Structure 1
Amino acid sequence: MLFKNRSYNAEFLVKLSSWNFWQNLRPENKQFAVIGLGRFGRAVCETLHNLGYEVLAIDKEEKKVNLALTDEISSHAFKLDSTEINAIKQAGILDFDTVIVAIGNYLAESITTTLNLKELGVKSVVAKASSETHKKLLEKVGADYVVFPEREMGCELARLLTKPGIIDKFDIDPEHSIVEIIVPDKFDGKTIADLEIRNKYGLNLLAVSAEDEKFTINPKLSTILKKGTAIIVLGSNEDINRLQK
């Protein structure tokens, strides 16, 4: 049977939907609009701007707009009520392929803004949600991708506290992951061939880092692992936990 239960099926479909969204993003896209300049919105603006992308920052509060310009976290910044569909048209937001709705704490405003953007034909809308209900509503009105910054940060903290050996983790599905982990002490000084990670743990070793933190993809079997560096492996969560133990 392909799916063990309905919840697994639902999670798989969510993963597939997310995959389709990222696949459809145009790699040459250099323009982003961010609506809502709270902590999350400012962080998105600043990061995109520092990476060299053109960013339009929008908020209905003039103080936040002025601060975005003063701090130089965006290319342009407008004061705008995004619940007004005509205001969105006039601001030129429709010229942007990807718009991030960073209004997480005002449910009606977030949903109305997302609906306006999709009705006007914005190709990709990423929206911040503050609850599961909020997420469902955003998806109902057409959000292409929904994020939970606070929840994801909480999950990340819990993982770091309980599994300190894992540096980073990407869930492929509920049972399999790609993880970056610190080289276990007992692996220090041994080659990949010596360790037989695939045979003993059922894991695929994808990359190995050096002391300068640069990774070698598909490392040779003769590569020697060193304490304090990292490896990236792919496999079941059960096998990953066995490797850590």
Structure 2
Amino acid sequence: MKNFLVIGLGEFGKSVAKTLYKNKATVLAIDSREELIKQALDEGIIDEAVILDATDELALKDVVRDDFETAFVSVGDNIQASILITMHLKELGVNKIICKAVNHTQGKVLEKIGATQVVFPEESMGEKIAHSVLYPTIIEYFNFSGDYFIYEVKIPKSYVGKSLMELNLRHRYEINILAVKHSDGKMNVTPDPNIKLAKDDLLIVLTKANAIGKLG
């Protein structure tokens, strides 16, 4: 089982730690604020945590040793701290360092000093909210590669009772149907092109961002 280190228990770090722990991963959380550590333990989000200033290289070294392959640095609001912690983790031999950043300048610095991935939670959330307003039928999406995204979308009313062959979305809009998710939760990853779509069906599609608006 993989061991994960989560440094910083703000909203982002707490969410990461909770998700990892719920999925049966071994998680060690670190924060210098005793109240956040106590709160996370009381809520059962994690079962192992240390009150520690992670910018202190020696203190961090005592905790990390060779036990962690992946670390999340979620102290992005404190730019100096995030840089120091990332440098320490790199020197300690942590293979994968995922850092939260508040802007792209900070992100570039973190990448230069050893971060393997930089995320921008506020930017991502803003993007998702804007998408939900622009395209109310989109339930979820993520960047697949380059300009291509995978979307989970509600089908427009005009699609009900029609087959994928009739709609011919690939030819008309360059939208590739990966799967059809039915109202009972079952996922059909090899949908028959002749089966008629039902009212509450969802489509899992692969397409460019500028094409998704054509879906209804």
**TM-score when normalising by structure 2:** 0.93
Q: Which amino acid aligns with 1:168?
A: E
Q: Quickly say closer, same or farther: Cα 1:121–1:174, change in 2 above 3 A.
A: closer
Alpha-carbon contact 1:182-1:229 (below 8 Å) kept? yes
Task: Work out whether 1:92 is the aligned partner of 2:64.
Answer: yes
Alpha-carbon contact 2:2-2:26 (below 8 Å) kept? yes
Q: Which amino acid aligns with 2:154?
A: I
Task: Work out whether 1:132 is the aligned partner of 2:110.
Answer: no
1:22 maps to what in 2?
none
2:188 maps to what in 1?
216
Larger helix share, 1 or 2: 1
1:191, distance to aligned residue in structure 2 (A): 1.7
SS at match of 1:55: strand
SS at match of 2:158: helix
Task: Work out whether 1:150 is the aligned partner of 2:122.
Answer: yes
Query: Whole-Å Cα distance in 1 between the matches of residues 159 and 65 of structure 2?
Result: 53
Gaps of at least 5 residues in structure 1 are: 1-28
Alpha-carbon contact 2:135-2:213 (below 8 Å) kept? no
Alpha-carbon contact 2:179-2:189 (below 8 Å) kept? yes
1:236, distance to aligned residue in structure 2 (A): 3.0
1:167, distance to aligned residue in structure 2 (A): 1.5
1:173, distance to aligned residue in structure 2 (A): 4.8
Alpha-carbon contact 2:70-2:95 (below 8 Å) kept? yes
| Aligned residue pair count | 216
Q: How does 1:100-179 map to 2 (within 5 A)?
A: 100-173=72-145, 175-179=147-151
1:140, distance to aligned residue in structure 2 (A): 1.3
Gaps of at least 5 residues in structure 2 are: none
Q: Quickly say closer, same or farther: Cα 1:72–1:175, change in 2 above 3 A.
A: closer
1:93, distance to aligned residue in structure 2 (A): 5.2
Alpha-carbon contact 1:99-1:126 (below 8 Å) kept? yes
Task: Work out whether 1:79 is the aligned partner of 2:79.
Answer: no
**TM-score when normalising by structure 1:** 0.82
Residues 102-135 of structure 1 deviation map (CA, whole Å, 9 limit, x = unaligned): 1011111111000100011101111100111111
Residues 170-228 of structure 1 deviation map (CA, whole Å, 9 limit, x = unaligned): 23455432222111111101122222222333322110011113221021122221122
Structure 2 counterpart of 1:65, from 37, 41, 51: 37
Task: Work out whether 1:234 is the aligned partner of 2:206.
Answer: yes
Query: RMSD value over aligned CA atoms?
Result: 1.6
1:196 maps to what in 2?
168
